[in-house]
Amino acid sequence: MKTKDRKAIRTEIVVIDRGWVVVGDVTSAPDKLTITNARCIRRWSTTQGLGQLIDGPQPETVLDPLGTVVVPIRSVIMRIRCTLTW
């Protein structure tokens, strides 16, 4: 992949079809996202929805480690940029 085809790594919450919600360091390419240090957000534990997690997990948030996840871009429902506290 050429350098110009990739975008900078940043921490994001990614909502993927079939109910997956993953947080990690995202690199995007035209046809896929690669999420390193990925964790599945199994329980949000928020009172204001998923967006409340942009500053990091809540005390009761449950995260399951996934390693590196590659997602076809067509499977991505939504991306939420996070702060660096994750």
pLDDT digits (tens, 9 = 90+) for 9-40: 799 999 999 999 999 999 999 999 999 999 99
CB 21 within 8 A of CB 40: yes
pLDDT value at position 24?
97
Q: What is the pTM of this model?
A: 0.87
Report whether pLDDT(1) > 50. no
Domains and CATH numbers, the chain: 3-49+57-81 (2.30.30.100)
pLDDT digits (tens, 9 = 90+) for 30-83: 999 999 999 999 999 999 999 999 999 999 999 999 999 999 999 999 999 998
DSSP helix, strand, coil percent of the chain (3-state; round to 5): 15, 50, 30
Report whether pLDDT(2) > 80. no
What secondary structure does DSSP assign to 2-43, as a single string? -GGG----EEEEEEEGGGEEEEEEEEE-SSEEEEEEEEEEEE
pLDDT value at position 12?
97
- Cα–Cα distance, 15 to 65 (Å, whole number): 16
